[in-house]
Amino acid sequence: MDARLADDLARMPELLENVRARAADLLAGLAERSVAVPPVPAKPLPLPPSGVGLDNAMADFADRWEPGFSGSAGPRYLGFVTGGATPASVAGDWLTSVLDQNAAPGLDSSAPDLERETITWLRELLGIGEEHTGAFVSGATMSNTVGLALAREWLGEQQGISIADAGVGALADVTVLSGTPHSSIYKALSMLGIGRDRLRTIPTLPGREAVDIDALDSALAALPGPAIVVANAGTVNTVDFDDLEAIAALRERHPFWLHVDAAFGAFAALSPAHSHLVAGLTLADSICVDLHKWLNVPYDSAIQLTNRQDLQVRVFQNSAAYLGLPAATPDFVHLTPENSRRLRALPAWFTLRAYGREGHRSIVERNIAQAQRLGDAISVSPRWRLLAPVRLNVVCFTLANNPTKPAIDKVTQDLTAAGTTFLTPTVYAGTPALRAAFSNWRTTDADVERIAKEINAGDRHLSGNDQP
């Protein structure tokens, strides 16, 4: 054994104790860590011919790289929809690495059964019915990709062929219909050989991002054959929701596969006052839910769910002499794009076991109330204009007097430089704007006050740019 490796093995308890202490320090400082740091990469070093051991590697990381890492897991990072990591989920993530299970085959470990238990818990948490089975994947993009792969296989089934065997070239014209799809839907269509151009956007309701059901009905009626409909349960700009029950009801008249992208919107189910927004989610043929967003587990983690596991096995089966054929309860190796795979379920299992439905409901309800409070502050500020009502956990707003890209970019840069809060710029209905997305378990009311103050600190940040 390499001498450094042997030395680290001999000192493992002490070395890991040092890592634990460092982790505790980092977490203790997270709330005040700069939310975003302008990337200044360290000068690349050549590959070390002989190593320095774990202690020295830690010191080098702390010196050269760690200062450039953002406080994105902290309470005032409102960019994208980011979430943090609960204490129990961090513990679960550590132990995932410690035990290093390969949750692909079911031959040698009960790890895959823990994944199944976690999927069942998540189904219950989100009000999704027992007819859906699921698996962990790396994120919502991969979940959307798996869902649309099943849709593709279903289209083949309508033609009496298997696309998994015959290839996508055997498929008659494919049409994908959606109101306000996330960018990852286009990426998934590209990866699946369906093609980005096959997505046709359907008009939305006036002043909304939710699809116009009558327009969708007409578009489906005009198609020569079965289609794919991507419904959106929580758009990223204004968290608008398609009417899932009304869309599902259209299947009585038109044949289509219903995929729902509920990456973070699915968590509306935890709030009794908002659960109506996801009514009908369980009627979907495939569902995408991200966990590294609102469940507050570390990257990377999402689930995909479907009521057609048979199609999933057709697409993803990986039969080999040593793996066996898919059984009644197929191993995950036959269900997901990966073969070997991390036990991603463990951090989610830990947080659900530690905090339960009530703990996670309180994260969601607090974040919704916080978004509402910031929305109220913005709606009375002369500097800003809300672009949409705060429906859930995102505030979408722009400069009242100068809603232009240069002015919004300047605000974003100034806020990022100040380091207190991080927002991402967007364009909503043609208007350059900002989004503030609440999804972190650590965020407090005091944080919201600080954020509101920072955003309204126009005079300090303006440099005259957003004046009329």
Q: Which stretch binds ligand PLP (CB under 6 A): 138-146, 203-211, 304-312, 346-354?
A: 138-146
Q: Does 399 bind ligand PLP (CB under 6 A)?
A: no
Q: Does 140 bind ligand PLP (CB under 6 A)?
A: yes
Question: How many amino acids of this chain bind ligand PLP (CB under 6 A)?
Answer: 13
Binds ligand PLP (CB under 6 A): choice among 261, 285, 331, 338: 261
CB–CB of 292/299 below 8 Å?
A: yes
Q: Does 454 bind ligand PLP (CB under 6 A)?
A: no
Q: Does 438 bind ligand PLP (CB under 6 A)?
A: no
Q: Which stretch binds ligand PLP (CB under 6 A): 39-47, 259-267, 272-280, 456-464?
A: 259-267
Q: Which stretch binds ligand PLP (CB under 6 A): 97-105, 139-147, 243-251, 458-466?
A: 139-147
Binds ligand PLP (CB under 6 A): choice among 89, 96, 175, 184: 184
342 half-sphere exposure, CB direction, 13 A CA radius: 18
CB–CB of 270/291 below 8 Å?
A: no
CB–CB of 90/351 below 8 Å?
A: no
Q: Does 392 bind ligand PLP (CB under 6 A)?
A: no
CB of 225 to ligand PLP, least distance (A): 27
Residue 84: burial class (beta carbons within 10 Å; 0-12, 13-18, 19+): buried
Specify the DSSP class assigned to residue 231: E
Binds ligand PLP (CB under 6 A): choice among 264, 397, 422, 438: 264
Which residues have C-beta within 8 Å of that of residue 158, sequence separation ≥ 6? 225, 226, 255
Binds ligand PLP (CB under 6 A): choice among 139, 280, 326, 347: 139
Per-residue DSSP letters for 62-125? HHHTGGG---TTSTTB-STT-----HHHHHHHHHHHHH----S-SSS-SHHHHHHHHHHHHHHH
Element (H, E) at 455: helix 445-456
**H/E/C letters for each residue in 326-390?**
CCCCCCHHHCCCCCCCCCCHHHHHHHHHHHHHHHHHHHHHHHHHHHHHHHHHHHCCCCEEECCCC
CB of 253 to ligand PLP, least distance (A): 27
d(CA 330, CA 312): 10
CB–CB of 89/298 below 8 Å?
A: yes
CB of 136 to ligand PLP, least distance (A): 12
Element (H, E) at 446: helix 445-456
Contacts to ligand PLP from residues 194-213, by CB under 6 A: none
Contacts to ligand PLP from residues 285-314, by CB under 6 A: 290, 302
Nearest to 234 by CA among 300, 289, 305, 155: 289
CB of 294 to ligand PLP, least distance (A): 10
Which is closer to ligand PLP, CB of 260 or CB of 313?
260
CB of 266 to ligand PLP, least distance (A): 10
CB of 464 to ligand PLP, least distance (A): 35
- Which residues of 141-242 form beta strands (DSSP E)? 176-178, 199-201, 227-232
Q: Does 182 bind ligand PLP (CB under 6 A)?
A: yes
CB of 191 to ligand PLP, least distance (A): 12
CB of 415 to ligand PLP, least distance (A): 21
Binds ligand PLP (CB under 6 A): choice among 89, 102, 118, 141: 141
Specify the DSSP class assigned to residue 176: E
Contacts to ligand PLP from residues 36-95, by CB under 6 A: 81
Would you tell me which residues interact with ligand PLP (CB under 6 A)? 81, 139-141, 182, 184, 234, 236, 261, 263-264, 290, 302
